[in-house]
Amino acid sequence: MRAMILDAARTTLRLDTTKHVREPGPREVLLRVHACGVCRTDLHIVDGELTDPRLPLVPGHEIVATVEVCGADVEKLQPGMRVGVPWLGWTCGVCDYCRSGRENLCDRAKFTGYQIDGGYPEYTTADERFCFPIPEHFSNQDAAPLMCAGLIGYRALRFAGDAKRLGLYGFGAAAHIAAQVARHRGQEIFAFTKPGDAAGQAFARSLGAVWAGGSDVAPPEKLDAALIFAPVGALVPAALAATGKGGIVVCAGIHMSDIPAFPYAILWEERIIRSVANLTRADGEEFLAVAGKANVRTTTVPFALADANIALDKLRSGDIEGAAVLLP
C-alpha cells in the first residue's frame, strides 16, 4: 500500500509504495482510510517540537475510515462500519488517572500518529475501543477535522464554562469548529488572527463572530474567557489583559513557544490560566452528538495523499482556511 513516512524530525515525509498492511491484533480493527485531517500537532511532530515519536512513523490522527477486518475479541465494531480515529489511541485503564475518568492524562498513553502509526496510509489499524462511529450526515472529508480540531476545541470550550463573551486566538481548524458550537450555545465570539489577516477575520465573521481583529488589538469589550489555539506564548498575557475579572484563559495546544514574563496585575482579580491535554473517549461521544445538534460545518481544503508535504507547508505558513485534509 501507499503511505507517507516520517523517518526523522525536521525532514520531509517520504512516499512508500510497498508498506506492509498489518493484520489487526486482539481488540484491533483493520481500517481502509478515506480521509485524514492534517493537524498542527502533525506539524509539531515533523518539525521536532514534540520529541517522542516512534520512528519511522506514519503520521495522522484525524482519521475517517471503514472497518475492513476485525481482530479477535472485537465487540462493538464490524466490517463495513465507518469510524473516526482520534489522537488518543490507547490507555492502560488501571492507573489513577484512567480510573478517575481522566484517561487523557494516563502516563502510559499511546497516541495515534505519534507512537502508533496513523492516518497517512491507505490502510491502518486501531484499537476498537478508541474508535468513534461517525454520524451519517458528515462526509468523509468534512468529518476528518472533527477528530482532533473539533475534539480539542470542544474540551477547551468546556473549560471556558458559560462565558458570554468568548475570545478565540488563532482562527484555524479548531477555532472555526469551536466558534460554531459556541454560537449554538448562545455565546458571543471575538476572533483574533495574525495582525493584518483580513481574510482570516472575514472568515471568522462569516461564522458569526461579533468582532474580529488582529491579536495585537484589544477587543471592544472585556472577555469572560479566551481560548488560545495558536502556539504562541506571547498570546497568554495578551489574552489575560483582554479578559475581565474572574476571566479564564485556556491554552488549547499541545505545544507553545515560551510564555514571556507578565505583570501580576493582569492575572490578579481571580483570573485563571489552564491548559488542555489530549481528550477522553467521553469527550468524543459528547462532541459528536453536539456537533450534529449545532449543525457544525467544517471548511476543508483537500490534498492528495502524496501531497502531504505541501499540505504541511501550507499549514506552517498559515495558508489554509479551515482545515487541510488528505484523501488517499
pLDDT tens digit sequence for 187-224: 999 999 999 999 999 999 999 999 999 999 999 999 99
User: According to the model, what pLDDT value does residue 78 have?
Assistant: 97
Residue 268, helix vs strand vs coil: coil
Q: Does domain 3-147+279-327 have CATH number 3.90.180.10?
A: yes
Decide: helix, strand or coil at residue 71: coil
- Ordered by start, the domain boundaries in the chain are 3-147+279-327, 150-275
With the C-alpha atoms ordered 62, 47, 102, 95, is the resulting torsion angle positive or negative?
positive
User: Cis ω on the peptide bond leading into residue 56 (within 30° of 0)?
Assistant: yes
Output the CA angle 29-299-60, nearest 5 degrees: 35
How high is the pLDDT of residue 284? Answer: 97
> Could you check whether 3-147+279-327 and 150-275 share the same CATH topology?
no
Residue type, 110: K
Phi, psi dihedral angles at 117 (to 5 degrees): -55, 140
Per-position b or e across 178-206, b if 16+ CB within 10 A of its CB: bbbbbbeeebbbbbbbeeebeebbebbee
Integer-rounded Cα radius of gyration of the chain: 19
Q: Which residue's C-alpha cell is 468546556?
A: 158
> What pLDDT, on a 0 to 100 scale, did the predictor assign at position 215?
98
pLDDT at 166: 98
**Distance (Å, whole) CA 291 – CA 313:** 29
Q: Count CB neighbours of 73 within 10 A.
A: 10
- Residues 237, 45, 323, 131, Cα dihedral to 10°: -110
Residues of the chain with pLDDT under 50: none
The answer to whether 167 and 195 are in contact (CB under 8 A) is no
Please state, in angstroms and as integers, the Cα–Cα distance from residue 288 to each residue in 87, 90, 159, following that order.
15, 20, 18
H-only helix segments in the chain: 40-46, 96-99, 140-143, 149-159, 173-184, 198-206, 235-242, 281-293, 308-316
Q: Which three cell numbers stand for residue 320?
A: 489554509
Please state, in angstroms and rounded to a whole number, the distance separating the CA atoms of residues 38 and 42.
Answer: 7
Our CA dihedral for 144, 149, 152, 153, rounded to 10 degrees, sits at -120
CATH topology (fold) of 150-275: Rossmann fold (3.40.50)
DSSP single-letter state for residue 327: E
DSSP E strand stretches across 92-148: 110-111, 123-127, 132-133
Among the listed residues 49, 17, 37, the one whose alpha carbon sits nearest the alpha carbon of residue 86:
37
How high is the pLDDT of residue 190?
98
